[in-house]
A and B are shown apart, each in its own frame.
Chain A
């Protein structure tokens, strides 16, 4: 865990820096994937920009909505510059909605866009794992294993490292798929969704901070990931069938 990098008098917040680097590298990978597919790279970049902007606003609005009582006496604090007052799920929803509206308005091919975004998403997934390793978030349950890490007064499963290994493997699989040219549009993205949901189900079994669902030791995030995985498999199956019909 290294949340702050002290360089001389400067105290650099490493998790934020890792995330920014991840987004920057991810954007480069998205542009490269767009060029490879002869897509309008400028439109892809605009899509990512608007989606990120909407994500930040959405995340703040989500946080305010969930903590309304705290904001009522100080309404102007809604606009305070603070990276902490963000709600990730709402931000994600706002990002997806804005992206979807942009794709519709500019009449872009939805599945082609999702395929072009996939390498960037895989890079950001790796950055998120490293970010958590740096900040200590998403820590594992206590376990005395040869590869355990010492965190918050306990030897624990290094869940952030598990996350990174899975994310790296997913990125390698997606970036080295030579059959991509003959796959239906959207398959690269759906493969990413299936693999990352499977990774979530696996790693969350060792995470300490997630809420249990009430079904034994199964966590809420694992159940959501399972539903997403099954949904993605169904869409894959449908797209494969319609692709075969078009080919015939």
Chain B
């Protein structure tokens, strides 16, 4: 499952929503209004991508972007395979 988290504490909900619509984002986007998610996940650069396995363990963190589609698919597929 892909979840996007917008760092809304330094952004604006309306603008973030508009951005997601314009880009045709297909996955749920959550709003980090009070910086708590960014603080807990030690976000230092945008975008930061976390690959979390079925046990909830962070298996890989990628700072910066863009990431290739094939890389995202390969990493997601590997974690799904482990969970089967």
Residues of chain A having any CB pair with chain B under 8 Å: 1-4, 6, 11, 13, 63, 66-67, 69-71, 74, 77, 80, 82, 84-85, 135-137, 151-153, 208-209
Contact-size category for B:
20 to 34
Q: Residue B77 at the A interface, CB < 8 A?
A: yes
Closest residue of chain B to A76 (Cβ to Cβ) is B70
Chain A residues lying within 8 Å of B44, measured Cβ to Cβ, are 1-4, 6
The verdict on A11 contacting B68 (CB below 8 Å), with A2-B44, A4-B45, A70-B74 known, is no
Chain B interface helix/strand/loop/mixed: mixed
Check if A137 sits within 8 Å of B68, measured CB to CB.
Answer: no
Check if A151 sits within 8 Å of B69, measured CB to CB.
Answer: no
Check if A85 sits within 8 Å of B42, measured CB to CB.
Answer: no
Cross-chain pairs A/B with CB under 8 angstroms, 5 sampled: A4-B45, A4-B64, A67-B70, A77-B69, A208-B57
Chain A residues lying within 8 Å of B67, measured Cβ to Cβ, are 82, 84
Q: Residue B41 at the A interface, CB < 8 A?
A: yes
Check if B71 sits within 8 Å of A152, measured CB to CB.
Answer: no
Residues of chain B having any CB pair with chain A under 8 Å: 40-42, 44-45, 57-59, 61-64, 67-71, 73-74, 77-78
Closest residue of chain A to B50 (Cβ to Cβ) is A152
Chain A residues lying within 8 Å of B74, measured Cβ to Cβ, are 63, 66-67, 70-71, 85
User: In whole Å, how far is A174's beta carbon from the nearest beta carbon of chain B?
Assistant: 32
